[in-house]
Amino acid sequence: MVGSGVIGMTSAFRLARAGWRVTLFDPSPGTGATWAAAGMIAPSAEISPGEEENYRLQLGALAAWRKISSDLYDVTGTPLDLYETGTLLVGYDPSDRRLIGQFEVVARSYGAAPRRVAREECEEMFDGVSAGIREGLYLAGDAWVDPDQVVALLTRANELHGVNVVRRQVLTASAQDDRVEVTTAEGSWQGDAGILATGARALPRGVAEKVANVVRPVRGMTVRVQGLDRSTRPMLRAYVRGRAFYMVSRPGGYCVLGASSEERQDLLVEMGELQRLLRDALDVVPSLESAAIVETRLGLRPASKDLAPFFETIDGRWAWSSGHYRHGVTLAPLAANEALNFVQSLQ
């Protein structure tokens, strides 16, 4: 397994549980896009024109995460916490509210059932939200996990399953006869099959020249603040002056605010990008005024040409699992199933 983000770790876990001996290569596990992610498993809130197939795929994600949670409990004694809160989607100004209307049309055409909610009827759903925002759409069935907990539990579970972690970058990957081989600066390793889960990063030499898919990095920033506990309320999504904003509030008052979206791959916090995100946050949730900024996190979403995930086989014994874009946390258990099916198909 080359790459230990949420896709590589979940796939390694699935394979190790099925009895395979797994080696995970990554110079810094869990520090890619997975580190920056808010952890939403939100098929309904993520509905977007032209992405109906992706929406249908995501509908199976929550059940797959429930299974991973119980498997993690079996192995580590700790379940993964899944918060099935749904999403409240609101618009900041009249043109943002028109965007909500357009969203509703697309959502209904996909078969989703957004419910219009008014502040007067569901006051608690609007806790902390600007008093000027009087209505919204409630999307049932959306949930969230804490990606830091996902990484911590998978790391522990993989260790208990004997997954070998090599903290090295893979430089080359190749296949010959019935074996695959990788090289790092330290030496070479062989195995029966290989999965490339390198997110938005370039593939190792030897396979990079052979693939049909391409991924491009779409940088995103989340800001983490402490000071508002909306964890028993729906996740919050908003259009603000045409931009998308969200807030995932965890028990204890830690909130993830997101997210910017830029076609670039440096990981520097740009002042304008940060200012826009904070301004949008304060306009929609004025109660964040006194929250403390804990940190910013940046990551590169791996986007394919059609914004859909793919699982591409290379030379028979390699597979590339990427293109998960805004949905890698959501789709990780499904990518893990593909990894297992692929490896088993080679027997």
Q: Which chain residues interact with ligand FAD by CB under 6 A?
A: 2-8, 25-29, 31-34, 36-40, 169-170, 197-199, 201, 204, 220-222, 258-259, 299, 301-302, 322, 324-330
Q: Which is nearer to ligand FAD, 118 or 171 (CB)?
A: 171
Q: What is the largest CA-CA distance in the chain?
A: 68
Q: Which of 245, 228, 288, 233 is closest to 122 using CA atoms?
A: 233
Alpha carbon distances (Å) from 31 to 156, 171, 238? 16, 19, 28
Q: Which is nearer to ligand FAD, 105 or 281 (CB)?
A: 281
Q: Which is nearer to ligand FAD, 67 or 116 (CB)?
A: 67
Q: Which is nearer to ligand FAD, 130 or 169 (CB)?
A: 169
Q: Residues 103, 112: contact at Cβ < 8 Å?
A: no
Contacts of 290 (CB under 8 A, 6+ apart): 227
CB of 214 vs ligand FAD, minimal distance in Å: 15
Q: Which is nearer to ligand FAD, 4 or 174 (CB)?
A: 4
CB of 54 vs ligand FAD, minimal distance in Å: 11
Q: Which is nearer to ligand FAD, 114 or 220 (CB)?
A: 220
CB of 37 vs ligand FAD, minimal distance in Å: 3
CB of 198 vs ligand FAD, minimal distance in Å: 4
Determine the number of helices (DSSP H) and then strands (DSSP E) in the chain. Answer: 8, 18
CB of 8 vs ligand FAD, minimal distance in Å: 5
Q: Which is nearer to ligand FAD, 228 or 329 (CB)?
A: 329
The dihedrals phi and psi of 314, each to the nearest 5 degrees, come to -135, 125
Q: Which of 14, 162, 43, 26 is closest to 107 using CA atoms?
A: 43
Side-chain-facing half-sphere of 336: CA atoms under 13 Å: 27
CB of 262 vs ligand FAD, minimal distance in Å: 10
Q: How far apart are CA 241 and CA 97, in angstroms?
A: 10
Q: How far apart are CA 172 and CA 150, in angstroms?
A: 29
Contacts of 202 (CB under 8 A, 6+ apart): 208
Cis peptide before 259 (omega within 30 of 0): yes
CB of 12 vs ligand FAD, minimal distance in Å: 11
